[in-house]
Structures are given as structure tokens and as C-alpha cells.
Amino acid sequence: MRRKHATRPARGRTVIAALAGTAALLLTSAACGTGTGSGGGRTVTVHVGYQSKTINTVTAGTLLRSLGYFEQELRDLGRRDGVTYKVDWQDYATGAPITAQMVAGKIDIGSMGDFPLLINAARGTQLRQPTELVSVTGYNLRGGLNMVVTRPDSKLTGLDQLRGKDVSSSVGSASDGTLVRALQQRGIDPDKDLHKLNQQPAVGASALRAGSADALSQFVAWPGLLVFQDNAKPLYDGAVLNLPTFHGVTVRRSFAHKRPTVVDAFLAAQIKATDYLHAHPLAAAEKVASATGLPPEVVYLYNGAGGIATFDPTLKPQLVAALKKDVPVLASAKLVGSVDVDAFTDDSFIRRAVGADYAAQLASTANPAPVTGTDPLCGGQVTDPATASEAWPAGQESTVPLATPSCLLRYLKRHPGAAVRAAYVPDALTGTRWFAGHSLWAEDPAADAKDRFQPFTTPDNAHAWLARHPGAHLLSLAQAVKEAP
């Protein structure tokens, strides 16, 4: 990754169609400087594009906005440099329109997923408005943020059965990349062997509910939302791919060169929002839920302690390497040509923002906010993230940590029905955190009592695990709760 801007002052410091029409806008905005956040005078408006319901970006979007940290940083900056800063927050459903606005000079800072980031880099270079990846919001090293779901009453049990089916996806998104890769691993041509519907997430969700789509491939938080609402069930867990997926922050290079202290201020605010999310996971989930209309239980599934997403702003080499592996997937879909990922990635800002601890934070891939505490039923401290489970009691502002899914079942047995607002368990095969009530369960009679019951997000995951555990068998949640000691 490049280290640039050595002279910056140290601070205390449909996809193609949407983008192709921006070339003329570039000439206009370059000539008049309108909406770039770099105009003259003593007032500067910073234009920030974000995706409120893509909750893996909340530390650079929804949560950050609700906390007001960026505005606070800009007020401090303004007192030092004599400029009045304003923030224009622009909310979008996906990354494509953010990129269109950035290359048109209308958005200065944006956040989006890994595949849209590559399109952002390609279009910025193509239209001579280059952009730079400067930080990460949240990531999952195995790819668990993406999922394919089907209707609750569907007879589909795996991706192999999607041949000839109608599958909704957002082409150019990280979730579409997951779908393409997963199908190709099974010898299925995503362009010839099924009918792919290129739809926005909300449109695809409606298509699934209406029956005009047999399956839906989408990114956080759509799979969790639809399953929580009993409108879908998981068909494929993106973590099976074992390829990292993440969301990050991109800035226009010209803006970063002209106003590096504003980028510094944004990343300082992002770090504060990340710290808040780690220190107050339930409160953060409630704030995001209030701003987006998403259920807090769904937000907490992804963003809570031990959640599917790990929030860490450092540009980890594993994520940059994954980004390079994504380029051929987008190139095969003719969404990009070549992308110089190293030229696009600039870690100098986030290094400065994090400070002396950057190297240590960069090297760590442990979730900074794991599920911890004392298990009230099985006893002892909850320490293993591979088995740590959690219950959210109704009417409570704190959760109950459980050492294993089997320990969680004991808790559910003692607190039936509406006494528990939500319960979370990790998939025994992939580690993907999921709703206990929407998981498939298996019993291994030969296992220790604390490990007797194992949960899974999908039938494929369950059967893969059962194949390695002779004598184990599937059972319903109700049966598992009943048999829990």
C-alpha cells in the first residue's frame, strides 16, 4: 500500500448506466467547483455519501451521523483554520449511485462494499476523477456478510437446485460476487444456467415475497432482516467461500489533496464511532434501528458483540488481497477492466488517525468486541468466539452470555417464549452468527453436555457437519430445548 501525501500538515490531526452519463457532469463541476466541498470563501460543505441500511458501514454513515462526531471534529478544525464546515449527508441504497456522484464531483467521501469499491476505483480512473480507499468500516474474513435466501416454504435446500430458477441479485455488489463464485464452484454458469434478475435489494426482497424470484442473493442486512421477519430462510452461507468481504471508505483524490485535514477529521470521527459501537453495542444497535427502521435485533446480529461484522478501520493486507481477487469477477461481468488496487489503496490517512498502535491493530483479526462474561447456567467465563452464544432478554438493556449453543438451549428452556427478545448462536461449520430460532439444529449424543447440540444457518452446512459426525442427527429447536439438561 502506498504512503503518499508526505507534505500534508500533521493533524492533531441500471451500475454502468448510472455511471456512464457522468462525463459531462465532470466538466461542469470541474469548471465551477459546485458541490465539491472545496469552494472558496470561509464556508466549506463536505458531501458524504452513505448507505443507511447497509449496516456494515454505520461507523462511517448511520451511527456516525447520529452521534454527530464528524460535525464535532469539523468544529474543532474550523476553530483552528478559521473555516466554517457543514456536512451534507446523502443516503443511498447501494454503492453505485455514490460512485456516480463522486466521479461527477458531487460527493467527497463515500462508503460502500468491496465490489462497489472496485467499480469506484475503475470509474474514477476512467473519468479522470480518481478516488482512494482510505479505511475499512466492517469486515468478515470468511465472507459471512453475504447470503442467498429463499422463501420459507421453498423446497430448495442448496445452490445446486438453482439451475433454471429466477434469482434476484444486485449486479456489481459484493453479494453478487458471492453468488457468482459459489455457483461457479458447483459448475453452474450464473449467466446461462439460471435467470439472474438485476434488482435493487428492496425490489429483490419484494420479488422473493411475491414469488417472482426463487432466491435472493444480498448483502448485510437484507438476509438477516428477511429471515427475522419470517419472509425467508437461508439457502447459502457466504462464509462457506472462506473469502474476506468488507466495506470501506473512499474519497476523491483531488479533495483529499486539497483538504487532507477534513479527511483526517472524518477518520478521527469514524474511530470514535467504532469505539462507541464496541463500548455500547446495544445502544448503538438501537440508534441505527431508530435511524433506519430496521429491527434492533437484526442490527445487533451483525453489529453487536461477536457479530457477523468485525469493525476495525485499518486496511488489513488480507482485505486488500481479497480486493485483488475480486477484480477478475467484475471483469468477467464487464463491469471493470483492469484495476490497480495498490494505486487505489492509501493507508497514510488511517495510519495517522490511529497513531502508534496502528501496526498492532493491523495485525490483529480478533473481533475487538467479543461476547464475554460469566455463563449463568454452564458456569465459567465465556471466552471462545467459536462457540459463544447470547440471549437478549425481553425488557432488558443487557444481554446474557452463554459459553456454547447447548448452554443457550438451557437458558431458553428456563426462559420460554416471549421472555427472550432474541438469541444468537454461531454456525458450527462456518462460525456465522445467526438467530437461534431460525437455525437448523443437530444433536450429537456422543458429545459432552456443553457441546451436545450444534446450530447451522443452512441445510448444506448441517449436512456437511453431519457427514463428519456419525451418530449425530437433525432435530427441531423445540426438541433441542426440550432435551437440554
Would you state the pLDDT for residue 82?
94
Per the CB < 8 A criterion, the answer to whether 443 and 452 are in contact is yes
Q: What are phi and psi of 276, to 5 degrees?
A: -65, -45
Percent of the chain at pLDDT > 70 equals 92
Q: Sign of the C-alpha dihedral, residues 312, 315, 316, 319?
A: positive
- Please tell me the predicted confidence (pLDDT) of residue 5: 42
DSSP one-letter code for 439: S
| Residues 397-446 pLDDT 10s | 999 999 999 999 999 999 998 899 999 999 999 999 999 999 999 999 99
Distances (CA, A) of 159 to 177, 185, 201, 267, 459: 14, 10, 19, 40, 11
Torsion angle of alpha carbons 73, 74, 75, 77, nearest 10°?
90
Neighbouring CB atoms inside 10 A of 321's CB total 12
How confident is residue 35, by pLDDT bands cut at 50, 70 and 90? very low
| Residue count (the chain) | 485
pLDDT for 32: 34
pLDDT in tens, 157-204: 999 999 999 999 999 998 999 999 999 999 999 999 999 999 999 999
For residues 327 and 334, give the distance between their C-alpha atoms in angstroms, rounded to a whole number: 10
Which residues, including other chains, have CB under 8 Å from residue 12's CB and lie 6 or more apart?
none
Tens-place pLDDT, residues 60-117: 999 999 999 999 999 999 999 999 999 999 999 889 999 999 999 999 999 999 999 9
Ranges of CATH 3.40.190.10 domains, the chain: 16-141+245-363, 146-241
**Cell digits for 216?**
435472493
Q: 146-241, what's its fold? A: D-Maltodextrin-Binding Protein; domain 2 (3.40.190)
- Identify whether the C-beta of residue 407 lies closer than 8 Å to the C-beta of residue 389: yes
Query: What is the reported pTM?
Result: 0.90
Domain 389-483 has CATH 3.40.50.2300: no
Instruction: Give mean pLDDT, residues 370-391.
Output: 97
Among the four given CATH numbers 3.20.20.70, 2.120.10.30, 3.40.190.10, 3.20.20.80, the one describing domain 16-141+245-363? 3.40.190.10
What are the pLDDT digits (tens) for 255-283?
999 999 999 999 999 999 999 999 999 99
Instruction: Check residue 1 and give its pLDDT.
Output: 53
Nearest to 51 by CA among 168, 167, 204, 202: 202
Q: How confident is the model at residue 119 (pLDDT cuts 50, 70, 90)?
A: very high
